[in-house]
Structure 1
Amino acid sequence: MDAYLERLVDPWIDEILDSAPAMMITGARASGKTTTALRHAASVVRLDNEREAGPFRADPDAALRERPEPVLLDEWQACPEVLGAVKRAVDTERRAGRFILTGSAQSDADPALWPGTGRLIRVAMHPLTVREQISRSGHPFIDGLLSGDPPQLPADPPDLRGYAEIALRGGFPEPAVELEGNVRRGWLESYVEQLLTHGRAGSGNGRDPVRLGTFFAAYALNSAGIVNDATLYEAAGLDRRTSRSYTRLLTDLGVIAELPAWSSNRLKRLARGTKRYIADTGLWGAAVGADVELVMSDGDLLGRMIETFVVNQLRAEAVVDPSRPKLHHLRDRDGRHEVDVIADLGARGLVAIEIKAHSAPKPADARHLAWLRDELGQQFKAGALLHTGPARYHLSDRIEAIPICSLWS
């Protein structure tokens, strides 16, 4: 990649460094964290290099001192002692723009993160969105929907097959931007293989890469679904404890994600199960062995891929959306009503989104959005039925049919 692709989080990183002493960028390996952080740093320490990490293991406070700031501490989890040194440096001198830490996603329950509590602002970095891949500026989709500022749709929007090609390209910078065809697919398959043999997945920690691979494939086949733990671990041939351990691991590595169920005291009998997703549709394709021809011949796989793709675009935008939406899903216990994405804006209301692999949805296709609007009244600010057709049009009060490509137009 010859030129740097501006990331959605770049302005947010600048804003943080202008005001706060330290920040941490988390995300899946190879999603571009280091490349982005380097553009904001004055000096860098690569802590996955043992020669550079050695002084920090011996005396982290001394090793950190007198470096040009902001100091980028790359792959901090390879030398967790550095987090305590950052805490002490910030407590001693709390000026803006001192430290940037990068590393793969970590569980909030990880004790190594405790020294950063109250000292670090965390920024989640996702694989490239399509907007980032084509260097297109614009409002986050939910913010634009609320402001009534419709995007200019492309003159030649993708058709259903085009969306499948875009989705299976994924968002990891190297395969998405630099590689093509079989080489891209080989990169994604290799990523999955290396993910499963990651040091934290080894049998020394009670984790078997073969069983983990079976679990990841089962998870991928259920992406964009509400599936309970029992169904998932039985499909993978695991017990409950192992299944939950693998879920935590893959979440920490940033390759799976969940949308929690939305709840409200105004609506009764809502299901509580989470909705599960693979965090990148390129990885999803590698995990299930799907190419464009396969998804175009299998309606179930196609629907899961399109929804997973759209939700991941929205998840990446939510990090920088000024309205700070919290993303959920909604389903009632009887299965009569279901909304793919609820963007909860707190006291300001909510936006509801349905996702369909359909080129010309009708008002009846938005019946779940209309039901939610009627139940919630003015709390319902806007509804969008994102579809694979070329046109944006009104469906009913506060509900529009909008092409998926509006996410990057």
Structure 2
Amino acid sequence: MAEYLARLVDPLIAELLEELPALALVGPRASGKTTTAARYARTTLRLDRRAEALAVEADPDAALEGLAEPILLDEWQEVPHVLGAVKRACDAEPRPGRFILTGSIRAETETQTWPGTGRITRVLVGPMTIGEQFGVREVPLVDRIARGELGEGVTRAAIQAEVPNLRDYLTMALRGGFPQAALTLQEHARRRWLDTYVEEIVTRDSQTAGGSHDKARLARFFEAYSLNSAGVVDDTTLCDAAGINRRTALRYIDLLSRLHIVDELPAWTSNRLKRLSLARKRFLADPALLASVTGTTDRTAMRDGDLLGRLLETLAVAQLRAQAAVSEHRCRLYHLRQHHGRHEIDVVAELDSRHVIAIEIKATAAPSAHDARHLAWLRDHIGDRLLAGIVLHAGPSAFPLSDRLWALPLYSLWTDTTAD
């Protein structure tokens, strides 16, 4: 059996099981939900196995009674009535650590089979971060900044023996974070795996999610959406590219969101700033999906600056999203853009609805104060609300740019570049 690589959500799952009766691990298909859940379960019922499903289907309440807890109900959607049994068990004995559910998103599309509101708490398990793949114990970057671990004492970090360069980051983006593809497959097989994954999103998965969808139109829309990952593009542009109307486009975005394949950043607003755009910023959940849809290789990406930038930003936001979910603060991610793009910031992390960390993501290996000009503008307008402005870059070093503005290498997302 392959060695288990710890996930960022592991401490959160353990903590919640100490207090809550039931958890549902949600996220994209093949992101490792079952593998992670199995580490906490004392009993596992795999309901995609007919023999186990038949017993549960015949009498769900009796099938769950007396089993060692926590009980993992894997692929629960194969016997949807088991949710009623979970509800009744939690209502009768609401002690912590009773059930863990993994499976499809049908719960969010077929509300008549979802009696879990107030009883089953969702925990997102997304694709693996780079730190998880390397076996690094990650501390969310926003938490390190909030603790004051960046400050006047920050100087150029000592360059490690094997610091990633731009090509290394590109390789990470192309590899992605789906455990099987990222950890066990070589390049050719990984491409085939990802191509199949994308195909099944618009065929099998979209139908499982409920409703009837034109597969050809959904495929065109997903391609158009993917090409605009890490971009602020209006619905009309996507509709025209896919040949569909806005109502259909909104249905598709909702579908892909519930499949956890897209995850958009809402616009950040402040009464101190004027003429801010309210458009959302589009993102795929994993940069390898963008590479698959576009047929990108390391060679083609290095020749296309726009595509390279989108891949790196999609990679960085995927790391930030995973870290925000387990931050010691209530961390929400946004983006900021003025109308006509006069000022725009890739990511705005708001902590506890008060403080802000603003982040720019650059493909350059030698960032300058010019790369932080939008961060400086935000700092000057919101004052002490800004804890830090960060330029994440593809170079090796961490160094200050000006008051509360720093350049940090991308690998600082999973490695503390300011440590002695």
Q: TM-score higher than 0.5 here?
A: yes
Q: How does 1:249-398 map onto structure 2 within 5 Å?
A: 249-398=255-404
Q: How does 1:1-400 map onto structure 2 within 5 Å?
A: 2-105=2-105, 110-112=110-112, 114-149=114-149, 154-198=160-204, 200-201=206-207, 205-400=211-406
Closer/same/farther in 2, CA of residues 376 and 113 from structure 1, 3 Å limit: farther
8 Å CA contact 2:229, 2:283 repeated in 1: yes
> How far is 1:108 from its partner?
5.1
8 Å CA contact 2:108, 2:258 repeated in 1: no
**Once the two structures are superposed, what CA deviation does each residue of 1:184-220 show, in whole Å capped at 9, x if it has no partner?**
1111111111222215338994312222211111111
One-letter amino acid of the counterpart of residue 316, structure 2? V
> How far is 1:111 from its partner?
1.4
8 Å CA contact 1:38, 1:72 repeated in 2: yes
Closer/same/farther in 2, CA of residues 56 and 187 from structure 1, 3 Å limit: same
One-letter amino acid of the counterpart of residue 237, structure 2? T
User: Which consecutive residues of structure 1, in runs of 5 or more, have no partner in the other structure?
Assistant: none
SS in 2 for 1:354: strand
User: Which consecutive residues of structure 2, in runs of 5 or more, have no partner in the other structure?
Assistant: 151-156, 416-420
> How far is 1:324 from its partner?
2.4
One-letter amino acid of the counterpart of residue 10, structure 2? D
8 Å CA contact 2:106, 2:208 repeated in 1: no
Does 265-274 or 9-18 show the bigger shift? 265-274
Closer/same/farther in 2, CA of residues 327 and 94 from structure 1, 3 Å limit: same
> How far is 1:56 from its partner?
3.3
One-letter amino acid of the counterpart of residue 249, structure 1? L
The whole-number CA distance in structure 2 between the counterparts of 1:130 and 1:154 is 17
> How far is 1:362 from its partner?
0.7
SS in 2 for 1:367: helix
The whole-number CA distance in structure 2 between the counterparts of 1:379 and 1:203 is 41
Closer/same/farther in 2, CA of residues 347 and 318 from structure 1, 3 Å limit: closer
Superposed CA RMSD: 2.0
8 Å CA contact 1:202, 1:208 repeated in 2: no
Indicate the percent of aligned positions where both proteins have the same amino acid. 52
One-letter amino acid of the counterpart of residue 253, structure 1? L
SS in 2 for 1:344: strand
TM-score by length of 1: 0.95
> How far is 1:356 from its partner?
0.7
SS in 1 for 2:412: helix
Does 68-77 or 202-211 show the bigger shift? 202-211
Does 127-136 or 109-118 show the bigger shift? 109-118
One-letter amino acid of the counterpart of residue 245, structure 2? D
Closer/same/farther in 2, CA of residues 106 and 155 from structure 1, 3 Å limit: farther
**Once the two structures are superposed, what CA deviation does each residue of 1:120-144 show, in whole Å capped at 9, x if it has no partner?**
2211011010000010013111111
> How far is 1:148 from its partner?
3.0
Count of matched residue positions in the alignment of Structure 1 and Structure 2: 409
One-letter amino acid of the counterpart of residue 264, structure 2? E
SS in 1 for 2:18: helix
One-letter amino acid of the counterpart of residue 173, structure 1? P
8 Å CA contact 1:80, 1:112 repeated in 2: no
Closer/same/farther in 2, CA of residues 62 and 127 from structure 1, 3 Å limit: same
> How far is 1:277 from its partner?
0.8
The whole-number CA distance in structure 1 between the counterparts of 2:349 and 2:276 is 16
